Amino acid sequence: MDANSFLMGGGGAPTAKFPTPGTTVGGRITEQPKVEQQRDIQTGEKKARYRAGAKR
C-alpha cells in the first residue's frame, strides 16, 4: 500500500492534536511518508498483527 493512501484513508491515530480553535502545529516535512508496522513504545519490538475482527 502506498503511504499517502494509507495516511489519507483516515481511521488512524492523529499525528497532531488541536485542542482549541486556532491551535497551530509547525514543522518541516523532510521525507516522503512510509508505511511501517506498529512498534511497542518501550521496547521498539514490532507488535503482533491481527486479522480484522480478531480478538487480541
Q: What is the DSSP string of 25-52?
A: ------S-------B-TTT-PBPPP--T
The 3-state DSSP class for residue 5 equals helix
Residue 56 above 60 pLDDT? Answer: no
Burial letters 21-54, b for 16+ CB under 10 A, else e: eeeeeeeeeeeeeeeeeeeeeeeeeeeeeeeeee
Using pLDDT thresholds of 50, 70 and 90, give the confidence band for residue 21: very high
Is pTM beyond 0.75? Reply is: no
Give pLDDT tens digits for 22-47.
988 888 888 887 888 888 889 988 88
